[in-house]
């Protein structure tokens, strides 16, 4: 993952955030690790904010791609949705720092640019599309395609990941006290929206 100096800087930034918290990104420390002087960083990024933004953009895009790839190998509907969510959990635990940057907003000054945020918007649209597909396949009740259901699914996924990242950020996906419950979490959702059911 090295190669270009730009990439070295991003890698070092992730390492620094892993040690000092996502908000603790420190350009002097980044420069030290890359082996250059701190002012030289400004030939690669115009500001500290720009480093955050690029990390956010890359993380959101990688998350989106990984989830889409996993879903595309599955049958449309519930199976694809399940694969999509599970891939999200796996990549979050593989890159806990980036997942925290994406998920919460621990950096007071930083707001991602529109461009950087776009993959996250597409992510939510994907979830909605998977829910619609499951409804059309008769796997879920009509209500599962509505806004409340999308919000509910988002509560489930972010809740699981934020609990896992806050309590056992270095656990493996299948052993994490929370991520290992993902199948049950999804099962809970599916049963709630089972066709012919109450909601």
User: Phi, psi at residue 168, to the nearest 5°?
Assistant: -140, 65
Enumerate binding residues for DNA (CB under 7 A).
5, 25-29, 35-40, 42-44, 46-49
Measured from the CB atom, the residue of 4 and 184 that comes closer to a copy of itself is: 184
Total site size for a copy of itself, rule CB under 8 A: 34
Interaction of residue 61 with a copy of itself, rule CB under 8 A: no
Report which of 64, 19, 13 is spatially closest to residue 41, judged by C-alpha positions: 13
Report the nearest approach of DNA to the CB of residue 13 (Å).
10
Report the nearest approach of a copy of itself to the CB of residue 162 (Å).
5
Report which of 38, 100, 29 is spatially closest to residue 63, judged by C-alpha positions: 100
Token pair in block for residue 188:
């809970």
Distances, alpha carbon 190 to alpha carbons 72, 110, 162, in Å: 20, 36, 21
155 interface partner picked from a copy of itself, DNA, none, CB below 5 to 8 A per type: a copy of itself
Q: How far apart are CA 26 and CA 155, in angstroms?
A: 32
29 interface partner picked from a copy of itself, DNA, none, CB below 5 to 8 A per type: DNA
CB-based contacts of 41: which residues, under 8 Å, 6+ apart? Answer: 9, 27, 30, 31, 34
Residue that has been written with the tokens 């991003």 in this structure: 10
Measured from the CB atom, the residue of 24 and 39 that comes closer to a copy of itself is: 24
Interface with a copy of itself (CB under 8 A), residue from 158, 168, 171, 173 = 158
Residues that bind a copy of itself (CB under 8 A): 20-21, 23-24, 104-109, 148, 151-152, 154-160, 162-163, 166, 177-178, 181, 184-185, 187-189, 191-192, 199
């Amino acid at each position: 993952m090295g190669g270009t100096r730009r990439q070295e800087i991003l890698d070092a930034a992730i390492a620094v955030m892993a040690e000092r918290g996502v908000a603790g990104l420190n350009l002097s420390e980044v420069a030290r690790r890359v082996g250059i002087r701190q002012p030289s960083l400004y030939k690669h990024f115009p500001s500290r904010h720009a480093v955050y933004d690029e990390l956010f953009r890359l993380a959101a895009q990688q998350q989106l791609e990984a989830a889409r790839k996993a879903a595309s190998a599955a049958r449309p509907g519930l199976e694809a949705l399940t694969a999509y969510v599970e891939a999200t959990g796996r990549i979050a635990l593989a890159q806990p720092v980036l997942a925290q940057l994406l998920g919460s907003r621990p950096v007071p000054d930083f707001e991602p640019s529109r461009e950087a945020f776009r993959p996250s918007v597409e992510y939510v649209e994907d979830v909605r599309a998977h829910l619609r597909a499951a409804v059309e396949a008769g796997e879920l009740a009509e209500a599962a395609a509505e806004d409340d259901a999308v919000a509910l699914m988002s509560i489930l996924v972010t809740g699981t990941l934020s609990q896992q990242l806050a309590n056992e950020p270095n656990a493996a996906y299948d052993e994490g006290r929370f991520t290992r419950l993902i199948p049950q979490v999804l099962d809970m959702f599916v049963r709630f929206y089972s066709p012919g059911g109450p909601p």
